[in-house]
Amino acid sequence: MKLFAIYGFVVLCLLATLFHPRTIDSANLTSVKDTLQTSRLSANARVDYTGTAVGGSNVRLKTSSSSPSYTITTNNINQGDSLTIGTHSYTVIGINDSSNFTVTPVIASGDDTDNGPIYLKIRPQHVVTFHTATAVPDGFFQVLLPSDPSTGNDGKPDPDGYDFNTTVDVAATNVTGYTFVTGVATPSAGTGCTSPSNYHCFEVHYSGSGAIGTTITITIGNTSGTNTPIAPATGTSHTEGTADTYPVLVKNFSAGSNPNSASPVDKTTAEVAHIESVRVTATVLPTISLTITGVAAGQTRCGVTTDVTTTALAVPFGTMSLNTFKNAAHLLTVNTNASGGYALTASENQPLGKDGNLTPNIPDTLGNNTTESESVSDEWTTPTVNGFGFSLQNVNASTVPFQYTTATGTCTGTFCSRQFANINGSETPQTISSSTTVANAEAVDVCYRLGVGATQAAGDYENQITYTATGTF
């Protein structure tokens, strides 16, 4: 009888476990993370009319907070940002100080209203990844992002949560055991998104047997910012330079479950952090340089062989034979960071004068056809056509006005030359190379040619050639 009683007690215990099974706790999804396209905070500030005026480009923001605007400095506003000020869009072109910045276009009527809104809307894509803990067939995953109950979903940055921003794209990547359909996004308090309260809901349903330890990837929003939640703005208790953290809930439900009331099979909570961007500033001083490099004798420049060696400061033609050309050259190199580029000009103080005087002088050449000037090229290949002139050979400059091979007008393209602009004769310096953008070692060869005849007075002749590089900054 005692043994029978013991057996009966065991049977009763077994029956009790069948009628009252023990609750099984949900497991934690593992390796859960929400990778943000950017962790930058949005901005929600107010206009201070004392430094903001219609038709002006300066905007001053309020330096004291007032709900829901807790952005009170320009520390999270950067050059190039697109802002909403009042009812119009503007682009930031400069940060003046902690409370003033400049925009384009100029401030429109009504956007200077005191306490008017200033919004910077940061819309980062969320890439949520995790490893499954249980094989749940034909179920769905739900990702929850916190909302701000004090502001609602109005397409404006909220101080303590994400603004749903009207429409959000949700997608998941198919893997073995999980074939997903298009995700569904629902704003906080929307149909099927009431519990827990103050969270936006993003669901992706799948067919398949599920699997354990499978990596699931869910994307919320787009890298372009379209159909993407707006990141939180400066919060009510935010400290600049310290990140605000927000929970991200991830759950796995069985088929047919009501996520508002049913317990998930598996779940976990991750966190994301938002903080101001770090403004890195540096000043690059405007620079332009011109280097003149001598060319040795025996070098080919402008299709001819140089007869003398030049230095950076001299072109020593030396003793001249009658009706015989002598050729020399310089290499001119320009560097500049001027955004508008540069122009390199050349001029002479006067024609080559005896002992540096105006007269007598070796005149500037007129070319074979007597058409040559400081701005017009002519062929110059006849040694009995005396005078002084130059040609160009482009090395890598963006633009040159002519080269020795440029056939135009009376120049056939064998040795096209021009005169140097004569400052004493009130001529304007002429451009010999130029660029409309920054220039990195743009170079051109200047090829000098000199010839004298029997009637040229004996003596020493000289003049000064001036090269000027001007940048457009």
221/107 same-domain check = no
**Within a domain: 309:** yes
User: How far is CA 244 from each of CA 50, 152, 211, rounded to the nearest angstrom?
Assistant: 31, 20, 35
Amino acid identity for residue 159 in this structure = P
| Rounded distance between C-alpha atoms, residue 34 and residue 377, angstroms | 69
Which phi and psi angles does 49 have, rounded to 5°? -65, -15
| Rounded distance between C-alpha atoms, residue 370 and residue 390, angstroms | 15
| Rounded distance between C-alpha atoms, residue 343 and residue 430, angstroms | 9
- Residue 97 lies in domain: 43-120
100/131 same-domain check = no
Q: β-pairing, 27-28 with 266-274?
A: parallel
457/343 same-domain check = yes
| Rounded distance between C-alpha atoms, residue 351 and residue 297, angstroms | 24
The CATH number of residue 35's host domain is 2.60.40
Closest CA to 47 of 113, 93, 103, 94: 113
pLDDT at 142: 98
| Rounded distance between C-alpha atoms, residue 142 and residue 253, angstroms | 8
Let me know how long the chain is: 473
Contact 39, 274 (CB under 8 A): yes
- Cross-strand partners of 248: 270
Closest CA to 121 of 40, 10, 215, 9: 40
346/423 same-domain check = yes
Q: Kindly report the CA angle at 132 between 128 and 138, in degrees rounded to 5?
A: 100
303/442 same-domain check = yes
Which phi and psi angles does 167 have, rounded to 5°? -135, 140
Would you call 166 exposed, middle or buried from its count of C-beta atoms within 10 A (0-12, 13-18, 19+)?
A: exposed
User: How far is CA 294 from each of CA 310, 316, 396, rounded to the nearest angstrom?
Assistant: 5, 11, 18
Q: What is the DSSP string of 50-65?
A: GG--TT-SEEEB-SS-
**Within a domain: 6:** no
Residues 6+ apart with CB under 8 A from 30: 130, 131, 133, 268
Which phi and psi angles does 228 have, rounded to 5°? -135, 140
Q: What radius of gyration, in Å, describes the C-alpha atoms of the chain?
A: 40
182/206 same-domain check = yes
**Within a domain: 7:** no
Amino acid identity for residue 424 in this structure = N
Q: Which domain-ending residue is among 76, 91, 120?
A: 120
Contact 273, 300 (CB under 8 A): no
| Rounded distance between C-alpha atoms, residue 224 and residue 125, angstroms | 8
| Rounded distance between C-alpha atoms, residue 140 and residue 162, angstroms | 23
- Walk along the chain (473 residues) in steps of 10 and give the mean pLDDT of each run: 35 31 60 95 97 97 95 96 98 97 98 97 97 98 95 92 95 98 96 94 98 98 97 92 95 97 96 89 87 98 98 97 98 96 97 96 98 98 98 98 97 97 97 97 98 96 97 92
Closest CA to 441 of 287, 306, 313: 287
Amino acid identity for residue 221 in this structure = G
| Rounded distance between C-alpha atoms, residue 193 and residue 147, angstroms | 12
**Within a domain: 454:** yes
Which phi and psi angles does 190 have, rounded to 5°? -75, 175
**Within a domain: 280:** no
| Rounded distance between C-alpha atoms, residue 260 and residue 251, angstroms | 12
Residues 6+ apart with CB under 8 A from 279: 75, 78, 95
298/339 same-domain check = yes
**Within a domain: 281:** no
The domain total for the chain is 3
| Rounded distance between C-alpha atoms, residue 298 and residue 379, angstroms | 23
- Cross-strand partners of 266: 27, 252
Residue 49 three-state SS = helix
pLDDT at 152: 81
Q: Which domain-ending residue is among 274, 309, 343?
A: 274
| Rounded distance between C-alpha atoms, residue 397 and residue 472, angstroms | 16
Closest CA to 463 of 296, 376, 297, 347: 347
336/228 same-domain check = no
292/441 same-domain check = yes
Which two tokens mark 144?
């929850």
311/243 same-domain check = no
165/84 same-domain check = no
Which two tokens mark 364?
């500037």
Distance from first CA to last CA of the chain, Å, rounded?
A: 109
**Within a domain: 447:** yes
Residue 72 three-state SS = coil
101/130 same-domain check = no
Q: Which helix (H) or strand (E) holds 12?
A: helix 2-19
The CATH number of residue 99's host domain is 2.40.30
**Within a domain: 383:** yes
Q: Which domain-ending residue is among 120, 154, 184?
A: 120
Location of structure tokens 């303590």: 160
Residue 15 three-state SS = helix
Predicted structure pTM score: 0.68
